[in-house]
Amino acid sequence: MAPMTRCRADDRHAPTNINALYYAQRAGAGMIITEGTAPDCMGQGYLRMPGIYTPEQVAGWRAVTAAVHEQGAAIFQQLMHVGRVSHPYFLDGRAPVAPSAIAVTDGQVHTAAGPQSFVTPRALQTDEVAEVIATYGRATRLAADAEFDGVELHATSGYLPARFLLPTINQRTQRFWPLTWIRSGLSWFVGL
């Protein structure tokens, strides 16, 4: 089953019993990829978007994986950092991050206070890029702790990893300039 955004986590971005029921009901697919899940708090960008960076979130996901495994299916965690598609509303007032300080120009972000205009993100410093990459490693380890069968890195649809590949959004001139990346597929699976 392909990932589909459900946004049914609690207000601390932890999966609940409704998430476990939802995924268990779809176990007949044989293999499930979860909805996009933030690898850290700066990756949040939707109401009730789940995360996998706190013990409470890991416990919630462990209930989900147990329910799916009980039905005989495999389940992969999709890791998704929304980057500049976020809003300070989701980030405790902080600006979203991106390769360069270039705002999204189309659409709006939906918050509990209603639609909001996108803001200009803060360009990540070079050393911060390594820190963001490390959050994916930590999230992968936490996915293993939650007994996922693997992870998928969501690197399309305008989210943070994909923005590093586009020279119109990534105007860096050093190490993380777009042409230094290998452009071979934008979605990778890793078995745990």
Q: Give the residue numbers annotated as catalytic, written as ranges.
A: 159
Query: Which of 91, 94, 98 has its CA nearest to residue 44?
Result: 91
Alpha-carbon gap, residue 55 to 65, rounded angstroms: 15
CA 178 to chain centre: 21
Alpha-carbon gap, residue 148 to 138, rounded angstroms: 14
Residues 44, 31: contact at Cβ < 8 Å? no
Alpha-carbon gap, residue 52 to 139, rounded angstroms: 6
